[in-house]
């Protein structure tokens, strides 16, 4: 069976676009041929950002976020710390 398929590579796994008529656990040989050379960029071609650049990017993201994150109280299970007598908190 010499049947080329189209797949997407994400998170270290090749995911076929269309279903394959193959049994589970069968070994196959894959030949890599990118469909769009312009979209393929090797990780070695990109310079790694410095720690200062990463921190600057995080600061910019933090500016967009609200000052406080609201977490609603959980009501699906009891919280034993809230139910403990105050004598345990010295």
Would you list the domain boundaries of the chain? 1-35
- Assigned token pair, 56: 């600057």
Give the contacts of 34 (CB within 8 A, at least 6 positions apart): 40
Phi, psi (degrees; rounded to nearest 5) at 53 = -65, -40
Grouping H, G, I as helix, E, B as strand and the rest as coil, residue 39 is helix
pLDDT digits (tens, 9 = 90+) for 24-40: 888 988 888 877 655 55
Give the contacts of 20 (CB within 8 A, at least 6 positions apart): 5
* pLDDT at position 54: 92
- Of residues 78 and 49, more confidence is placed in 49
pTM of the model: 0.34
């Amino acid at each position: 069976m010499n049947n080329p398929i189209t797949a997407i590579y994400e998170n270290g796994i090749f995911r076929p676009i269309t279903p394959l008529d193959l049994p589970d656990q069968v070994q196959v040989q894959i030949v890599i041929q990118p469909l769009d050379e312009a979209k393929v960029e090797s990780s070695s071609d990109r310079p790694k950002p410095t720690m200062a650049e990463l921190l600057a990017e995080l600061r910019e993201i933090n500016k967009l976020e609200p000052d406080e994150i609201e977490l609603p109280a959980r009501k699906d299970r009891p919280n034993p710390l809230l139910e403990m007598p105050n004598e345990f908190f010295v």
